[in-house]
Amino acid sequence: MAGSTYGTIFKITTWGESHGKGIGVVIDGCPAGLPLCEEDIQTFLDRRKPGQSKFTTPRKEDDKAVILSGVFEGKTTGTPISIVVFNENQRSGDYGEIASCYRPGHADYTFDQKYGFRDYRGGGRSSGRETIGRTAAGAVAVKILNRLGILFTTYTRAIGPVSIDDKCFDAAQILKNPLYMPDAAAAKKAEAYLETCIQDQNSSGGVVECMISGMPAGIGDPVFEKLSANLAKAVMSIGAVKGFEIGDGCSVSKATGRENNDAFRLADDGSVEKATNHSGGILGGISDGSDIVLRASFKPTPSIASLQHTVNRSGEEVDIRIKGRHDPIIVPRAVVVVEAMAAITIVDSLFANMSAQMEAVKKFYET
């Protein structure tokens, strides 16, 4: 089944495998008249670029975005924006083991069960490189949202047992450490933790958090298209995410109503605001005007250097040791991907919301 298209009004379609000719995305439903150039895309791609520290794969991937359509004289035309990154740094190498074995924690076995065979080179379609298309589309989505006053702050909240201290939160730190943590002290500790993982031929999980400010209230739908539900799908569709939370998230299960309810009050300008934000900016599936806060829990990189037990395609039990250049942690490079998926989802919700009230539709078409 077709599973590579996401979104309804603002819609993206990704394609490409790790070691094929390229990776790309078609962005459809972008409004006409948005200034856009390849540099806008590149800035986002560079945030997921490997090789920037010892905590990401030393592979050199100079992923260069090329816009093939949908932009004319520096502005989007309203027609599909096709973006491609040609693959350049594939090792032609020996895929023997990946080709014949089911790597634990990977999708090798499930692909074979679904499709009968698979493109085993570098993970094929299940490779992390698939997120290049999402990231490129996210750059467009964030640019649209910024024009509407909606801003993103996305970062690493935790790496293994090391979590940021909210009291030390400093957004300026995010780009100052290779782990994208908004807390310099926590980043230091996390780096030390990752060193031990590497030495131990092991890997670590972690948490990405995304805060979205400037959201108007009233976005999202009350039943299946809850903004929280769509954000959940968007973020859980990123490989390796096993948990998703909005606002207080899983901890609400231990809370009482009195603790968890956010009181409404009047802001100085007379508008309605909430005294707290346990809801994470969404009530009943609809944005409530507070910051949207979401978190994704990533599992540890399944590719580890130590010996693992598994089964091969011939149905024999074997022990394998995964060679190659692998990140000991997925999280830092996934920060921009979480932001991208959240942004794409919110653009779609904003566009869908434009026909929510008859008077607004009437006014729109009268002008």
Is residue 125 a contact residue for a second copy (CB under 8 A)? yes
CB of 47 to a second copy, least distance (A): 20
Among 92, 256, 268, 314, binds a second copy (CB under 8 A): 256
The footprint of a second copy on residues 326-345 (CB under 8 A) is none
Cα–Cα distance, 70 to 42 (Å, whole number)? 17
**8 A C-beta contact, residue 342 and residue 10:** no
69 or 172, CB closer to a second copy?
A: 69
CB of 367 to a second copy, least distance (A): 8
The footprint of a second copy on residues 79-118 (CB under 8 A) is 79-82, 84, 102, 104-107, 109-111, 113-118
Among 222, 268, 269, 314, binds a second copy (CB under 8 A): 222
Among 232, 336, 340, 343, binds a second copy (CB under 8 A): 232
Is residue 56 a contact residue for a second copy (CB under 8 A)? no
Report how many residues bind a second copy under the rule CB under 8 A.
168
182 or 239, CB closer to a second copy?
A: 239
Amino acid at 305: A
Is residue 242 a contact residue for a second copy (CB under 8 A)? yes
- Count of Cβ atoms closer than 10 Å to residue 106 Cβ: 19
Q: What are phi and psi of 169, to 5 degrees?
A: -55, 125
Is residue 262 a contact residue for a second copy (CB under 8 A)? yes
SS3 273: strand
The footprint of a second copy on residues 163-192 (CB under 8 A) is none
Among 60, 62, 68, 185, binds a second copy (CB under 8 A): 68
Cα–Cα distance, 198 to 267 (Å, whole number)? 50
- Spatial CB neighbours of 160, under 8 Å, sequence gap ≥ 6: 190, 193, 194, 197, 204, 205, 206
Cα–Cα distance, 310 to 114 (Å, whole number)? 19
Which residue's entry shows tokens 């921009």? 336
Which residue's entry shows tokens 């005007």? 289
CB of 228 to a second copy, least distance (A): 5
